[in-house]
């Protein structure tokens, strides 16, 4: 998403866009690597306003993604939602790295722009990345796969857990005997 600086005034302005994953090289690369499968384009809603010496941009980004559960390996769909605030200052020419601070639920980012346009796409892609879980779970209570026989414990019952507790018990008994 590109916002024209001249269109930004001290009155809050809303902009909306639907962006294809292909417009975000980082996200497309992630999908090409098989990390996830985007099931919808990105829905982007932003408000922009000029404040003091900076431009304040608030964004809400939503996308549907298919992930593989880290416990049971099943594919499941989930909706990622990200909202963040960026304070854009006009670049003074020298390179200054973006700064980020966590303030409550919302993340605040300081960034710089040059020229007449602000390209919000890098921030959008980065915040979608942040929302991707490191260990995806199809549900909080996912029981995963049996480490012994490999069945999906969400849908199948196996006898392995009975055997395991039996083994643990006998190991404990042996331990006591040896002492």
d(C-alpha 69, C-alpha 78), whole Å: 11
Which member of 149, 168, 171, 172 binds Zn ion (CB under 5 A)? 149
Q: Which residues pair with 19 in a beta bridge?
A: 42
Write down the least CB distance from residue 69 to Zn ion, Å: 3
- Using CB under 5 A, count the residues that bind Zn ion: 10
Question: Residue 138 interacts with Zn ion (CB under 5 A)?
Answer: yes
Q: Indicate the burial class of 64 (C-beta count within 10 angstroms; 0-12, 13-18, 19 or more).
A: middle
**62 neighbors 42 (Cβ within 8 angstroms):** yes
Question: Residue 72 interacts with Zn ion (CB under 5 A)?
Answer: yes
d(C-alpha 3, C-alpha 117), whole Å: 6
Write down the least CB distance from residue 17 to Zn ion, Å: 33
Which member of 75, 91, 148, 170 binds Zn ion (CB under 5 A)? 148
Question: Residue 15 interacts with Zn ion (CB under 5 A)?
Answer: no
Residue 56's contacts (CB-CB under 8 Å, 6 or more residues apart) are 48, 49, 50, 85, 86, 87, 88
Segment interacting with Zn ion (CB under 5 A) among 23-31, 100-108, 116-124, 141-149:
141-149
Question: Residue 127 interacts with Zn ion (CB under 5 A)?
Answer: no
Which member of 42, 44, 57, 69 binds Zn ion (CB under 5 A)? 69
Write down the least CB distance from residue 71 to Zn ion, Å: 5
Residue 167's contacts (CB-CB under 8 Å, 6 or more residues apart) are none
d(C-alpha 29, C-alpha 86), whole Å: 24
Question: Residue 160 interacts with Zn ion (CB under 5 A)?
Answer: yes
Residue ranges in contact with Zn ion by CB under 5 A: 69, 71-72, 138, 142, 146, 148-149, 158, 160
């Amino acid at each position: 998403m590109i916002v024209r600086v001249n269109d930004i005034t001290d009155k809050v302005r809303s902009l909306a866009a639907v962006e294809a994953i292909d417009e975000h090289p980082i996200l497309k690369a992630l999908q090409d690597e098989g990390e996830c499968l985007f099931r919808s384009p990105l829905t982007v809603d932003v408000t922009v306003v000029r404040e003091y010496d900076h431009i304040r941009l608030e964004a809400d980004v939503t996308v549907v993604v298919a992930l593989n559960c880290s416990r049971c390996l099943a594919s499941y769909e989930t909706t990622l939602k990200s909202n963040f605030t960026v304070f854009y200052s006009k670049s003074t020419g020298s390179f200054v790295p973006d700064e980020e601070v966590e303030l409550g639920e919302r993340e605040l980012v300081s960034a710089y722009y040059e020229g007449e346009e602000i390209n919000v796409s890098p921030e959008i892609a980065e915040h979608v990345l942040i929302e991707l879980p490191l260990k995806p779970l199809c549900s909080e209570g996912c029981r995963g796969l049996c480490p012994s026989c490999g069945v999906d414990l969400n849908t199948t019952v196996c006898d392995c857990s009975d055997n395991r507790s039996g083994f643990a018990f006998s190991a404990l008994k042996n331990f006591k005997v040896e002492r």
